[in-house]
Amino acid sequence: MNIFRLLGDICHLVAIIVLLLKIWKTRSCAGISGKSQILFALVYTTRYVDLFFTYVSLYNSVMKVIFLASSYATLYLIYVKFKATYDFNHDTFRIEFLLIPCVILSLLITHDYSPVELLWTFSIYLEAVAILPQLFMVSKTGEAETITSHYLFALGAYRALYIVNWIYRYYTESFIDGIAVVAGIIQTILYADFFYLYITKVLKGKDFKLPA
């Protein structure tokens, strides 16, 4: 463990909690893409299948449980409890166009063809693009609630910090996982446009609105 990865995990946790609080406090999931949340739940489910038979550390197991529980709780809030506030008209990204390429790619490029490893690889590729429905929805509505922009910033920062963690691990442990690094870089690049808007607008107290 290193400070970059710890900060990354904390950002990730903050993002998930901010989203849950936003929906719970405002009793509304307006502006939130349920499809992205479905993809995230799928990412954690396929990545943490080893939760019950591979023990890395208490921290690792606890965080996995938190990520799994919170992602399904978010799905429950969006699709059950506050279903009436779900903006399905704007949440129209075709997630099969993400799922199918990720399945194919995880069969073509993977470290190992064991079921657990294939699921892990699939989850890495899927996580890289899981935010697209949300970014697509923000681009369609042209704006996002400030709290939602904080959620997106924290979520983007988490994987950006993981890139720093991989650089650190490369130089200190000569550890490198090409699949995770390439997917992580793509994932972070997808946030670039959002990061720019967030820093130039939200941090200056303005609303998060895309230039018309």
Partner 1 sequence: EDDNTHHDEL
- Give residues in contact with partner 1 (CB under 8 A): 5, 9, 12, 50, 54, 56-57, 60, 63-64, 67, 111-112, 114, 117, 120, 162, 165, 175, 177, 179-180
By C-beta, is 5 or 81 nearer to partner 1? 5
CB of 166 to partner 1, least distance (A): 9
By C-beta, is 40 or 93 nearer to partner 1? 40
CB of 116 to partner 1, least distance (A): 8
By C-beta, is 128 or 144 nearer to partner 1? 128
Taking Cα atoms as reference points, which of 189, 212, 183, 208 lies closest to residue 197? 208
CB of 28 to partner 1, least distance (A): 29
CA distance 16 to 28: 16
Q: How far apart are the first and last CA of the chain?
A: 43
CB of 140 to partner 1, least distance (A): 31
CA distance 137 to 143: 9
By C-beta, is 131 or 138 nearer to partner 1? 131
CB of 63 to partner 1, least distance (A): 5
Q: String of b and e for 76-94 (b: at least 16 CB within 10 Å)?
A: ebbeeebeebbbeebbebe
- Residue 134, C-beta contacts closer than 8 angstroms, at least 6 positions apart: 32, 33, 35, 36, 152
Residue 90 identity: H
Taking Cα atoms as reference points, which of 115, 116, 153 lies closest to residue 134? 153
By C-beta, is 149 or 187 nearer to partner 1? 187
CB of 112 to partner 1, least distance (A): 5
By C-beta, is 102 or 138 nearer to partner 1? 102
